[in-house]
Amino acid sequence: MRARSSLLFVLSMLLVATLGVVLAGEGPEGLKPGTVTLKSAGPIAFAPDGVLLIGDPVAATVYAVATGDTKGDPEKAEYRIEAIDEKVAALLGVSSSDILIADVAANPTSGNVYLSVARGRGPDAQAVIVRTNPQGEFDILPLENVACAKAELPNPPREAGQGRFNQRALAITDLAYVAGSVIVAGLANEEFASTLRVLPYPFAEGTRGAGVEIYHGSHGRFETQSPIRTFTSYVLEGEPHILAAYTCTPLVKIPLKQLAPGAKVRGVTIAELGNRNQPLDMFVYSKDGKDYLLVANSRRGVMKISAVELSGNYNITQRIEGTAGAGFETLEGWTGVVHLDRLNSQCALVLSQNESGRLDLRSVPLP
């Protein structure tokens, strides 16, 4: 009897151990085994534990996918991959003119780099996440039978009977994991002003998030609601903020706690990034004990703004003459930058177009 009890105990412990393994196999918190079928691949960013967030604009969905890529030393990662567009295209069996790279993100846990890619340029283009490493090896991120979760963004057809006319599409302009939430900025092709969405993370079943309308008053008498192009988070004077750059150039700060579902928020404009220009990517870093914001722009190069300037008591509500607001330095030599991310404590990851039109991926010491 005693022997049998012992055996049962051992068996039950084995069962518990096995279950434990199975549960661990489900991956990071909130993710369940499944298959992600991307209709399109837009902006990407990392959440904790090597979880990749993938914005799918066509499906109006954000996916969280466990990459399992959690080992490695990002501090040792260095990149110098020339004509990466040709290499990614070759992996996918096409020429570089038949792919589009929508975004680049460095995995902060491993130092490996992920690219969000469209193979093909028509409506039937295939969405692929391509991964590379400092050795210049390439592979395709598996999306079948992986630990994953999703959050659908509202993009419904109007009332019944109207759906067939809905040609509305959503361009996700940026997304980021910020302190327990995934924040998504988008732009619809029909309505000019789009809302910022805040999705609690890990995604709960049926998460849709709630929109936040952000106004900013950078133009004298007029204020506006316009689409956010890129954003990042930063603690200003002890309070977490979103720093957001708009399609029509203002850089705006918004306290994170104001981004409550359904809220209408007025952001404070702290700088104008210049005309004929669009901000593309930005991140915050520390160097020699000081914090800086790095912003890549479509026509105005890469700008470096010190945290001292960000914390300055700027609130541009007057008509701007010259360069008002937070001061910035436009970096020499950072030309043709199309995407930017933080690689490690020493380097930025830069995807830039070279003189022959090819895209190079490089790690560049933080300025």
Partner 1 sequence: MSLLSCWCLPLVLLGFQAETARLPLRVTIDESPPHAVRLYGLPAEMLSALQQAEISSRDWQDVYRVEVAGSEQAQSNLPPVAGSYRVEADHIVFVPRFALQRGQPYRVRVWPNRLKGAPAAWPGLWQDVLILPDSDVAPRTRVVAIYPSSDLLPENQLKFYIHFSQPMRRGEAYRHIRLLDNTGHPVPYPFLELPEELWDPSQQRFTLLLDPGRIKRGLKPREEFGPILESGNSYTLLIDAQWKDAAGRPLIEGAAKKFRVTEPDEQQPNLESWKLRLPRAGSREALEVLFDEALDHGLLQRMIWITDATDSPVPGQVEILRKETVWRFVPENPWMAGPYQLCVDARLEDLAGNSLARPFEVDLFERVEVQSKADVRRRLFRVEP
Q: Which positions from 144 through 203 interact with partner 1, judged by CB under 8 A?
A: 157-163, 165-169, 171-173, 187, 189-192
Both tokens assigned to 262: 């359904």
> Total binding residues for partner 1 by CB under 8 A?
73
Taking a C-beta distance cutoff of 8 angstroms, is the pair 52, 44 a contact? yes
* Stretch of residues binding partner 1 (CB under 8 A), selected from 6-14, 21-29, 79-87, 288-296: 79-87
| C-beta of 197 vs 366, nearer to partner 1 | 197
Binding of partner 1 by 87 (CB under 8 A): yes
- Report the C-alpha gap between 102 and 116 in whole angstroms: 5
Among 133, 218, 232, 344, binds partner 1 (CB under 8 A): 218
- Report the C-alpha gap between 171 and 185 in whole angstroms: 9
- Report the C-alpha gap between 232 and 195 in whole angstroms: 16
Binding of partner 1 by 35 (CB under 8 A): no
| C-beta of 76 vs 164, nearer to partner 1 | 164
Q: Pairing between strand 210-219 and 196-200?
A: antiparallel
Taking a C-beta distance cutoff of 8 angstroms, is the pair 364, 348 a contact? yes
* Stretch of residues binding partner 1 (CB under 8 A), selected from 13-21, 25-33, 66-74, 211-219: 211-219
Cβ 219 to partner 1 shortest distance, Å: 3
Residues between 235 and 294 that touch partner 1 (CB under 8 A): 247-249, 272, 274-276, 278, 280
| C-beta of 110 vs 218, nearer to partner 1 | 218
Residues between 93 and 122 that touch partner 1 (CB under 8 A): 93-95, 98, 100, 102, 118-122
Burial environment of residue 248 by CB neighbours within 10 A (0 to 12, 13 to 18, 19 or more): middle
| C-beta of 51 vs 89, nearer to partner 1 | 89
Binding of partner 1 by 86 (CB under 8 A): yes
| C-beta of 287 vs 358, nearer to partner 1 | 358
Tokens 């096409």 correspond to: 94
- Report the C-alpha gap between 163 and 165 in whole angstroms: 5
* Stretch of residues binding partner 1 (CB under 8 A), selected from 72-80, 109-117, 284-292, 315-323: 315-323
- Report the C-alpha gap between 210 and 251 in whole angstroms: 23
What are residue 336's phi and psi, to 5 degrees? 65, 20
- Report the C-alpha gap between 241 and 239 in whole angstroms: 6
